[in-house]
Amino acid sequence: MFIRNESFYSFRKNYPVITVLVAIHFILFLWMNLLPGGRFIAEIGIGYNLAVAYYGEYWRLVTPIFMHLGLGHVLFNSFSLVIFGPGLEKMLGKVKFLTLYLFAGIIANIATFYLGGLSYPQHLGASGAIFGLFGAYVYIVLNRKNLIDRANSQLVMTILIIGLVMTFVNSNINILAHLFGLIGGAALAPILLTGVRSFSMYQHVHEPQSVSFNPNRWARHRKNKKLLVKSAWILFIIFVLFGLGSRLF
């Protein structure tokens, strides 16, 4: 579920919402840092509680979800989305997945507005929405065990615990956004997961030459399960190390 072995073409075809979201991340990042008008875009879109309260700039509850200033910040959040988003986009479908992602991010920013107060510093980043994905996974692990296998369940919970520890340890972290993004994703999950089948039951293409998914294929590859788990942990370690290097997560 979390091991990515598709070509760029296959990934773009199978996960169009994630592809578009990541593209928006980098387009806005490049615009804000390198192109004319970037400073204005940053100033008008960044989360700013004072501007929301006094000037009614409510779009600031949405726009920060797509904005990043630092290279490490945009790379880490985009990397997280590419790794942990596909399973949910495939199970939920494009509309439900986008609903989960956006509403979790908006809930995170609303919580920052109401609980952070007018003196809360300016904030931006997709981490609240990404924690919303983790919230949905937590609900699946606890209440819809038929949708995820044990190995992936353990991996999700381990990464979530590490992510929560990092939330409280690192500086420059929007703790409210992380926590309420997580809560928002878990709250939305039972509604959005209605009628959803396991990720392994969906047809998904890795390469153009392989156009269908055969459930029996997994039975033939059970011997490779340990290798997949090891690969997942290597990926996880890289993920954590990269996250530790990004102070803006």
Mind telling me the catalytic residues?
Answer: 127, 178
Rounded to the nearest 5 degrees, what angle is found at the Cα of 163, between the Cα atoms of 128 and 129? 15
- Kindly calculate the radius of gyration of the chain based on its CA atoms and give it in whole angstroms: 18
* 47, 60 contact by CB (below 8 A): yes
* 220, 169 contact by CB (below 8 A): no
Residues in contact with 45: Cβ distance below 8 Å, sequence separation at least 6, in sequence order: 28, 59, 60, 63, 64, 66, 67, 124
82: its two tokens: 């590419």
Instruction: Tell me the residue ranges of DSSP E strands in the chain.
Output: none
